[in-house]
Amino acid sequence: MDQQTLNTQTSRLILENPMRRIRIEKVVVNCSVGKSGAPLERAEKIIQMLTGQKPSIRKAKKTIRGFGIHRGEPIAVMVTLRRNKAREFLQKAFAAVGYKVKEESFDQYGNLAFGIREHLDIPGTKYDPELGVIGMDVIVHVSRPGRRVILRRRARSKIGKNHLVTREESMKFFQEEFGVKIIS
């Protein structure tokens, strides 16, 4: 079987079977400041303004003297977005990077991670001198319906390899859904 026949068959399967559709499970927005205090509070305000959700504060796992980080010190903020909020933020995040994502940004399970250098690149954001400028990481987790069976507590089960999202399927999904261009 040649590649074109295989792609046609895969596309037909996805259209016929709703369990084969790829969906965005969650979007995680992470901003690592490296210090506690005022910079962390500013980053928290910016993330809350961009996402519309209150971010959680993340603490350092170990002490790194070279960076001046102590174990247990708050150094980052993150927020998890799901459903419509995730999709809306993702549209803005892709616009911030010019709808271009590197091929290396996808892992073997189809998840995507990329960075935004300045939050001002996101459309609709204005500069506030009191808050400053921060960068952030955006991590997108994709899956198919039915993935819950490997995560649930009761009656946990396995899913087949053909039901997992591959890197190529994920790239195709983002190209079709968001108009993202994959750069090699």
Q: How does pLDDT run across 111-150, given as a tens digit for each residue?
A: 999 999 888 888 888 888 888 888 899 999 999 998 888 8
Decide if pLDDT at 15 tops 80: no
Q: What is the pLDDT of residue 2?
A: 60
**Domain boundaries, given as residue ranges, for the chain:** 18-183
| DSSP track, 113-154 | EEEES-GGGSTT----TTT----EEEEEEEE-TTGGGGT-ST
Q: What is the pTM of this model?
A: 0.82
Q: What is the pLDDT of residue 70?
A: 84
For 25-64, the pLDDT digits (tens) are: 999 999 988 788 888 899 999 899 888 899 998 888 888 8
Architecture category of domain 18-183 in CATH: 2-Layer Sandwich (3.30)
H helices present in the chain, as ranges: 3-16, 38-51, 83-96, 167-178
Q: What is the pLDDT of residue 54?
A: 93
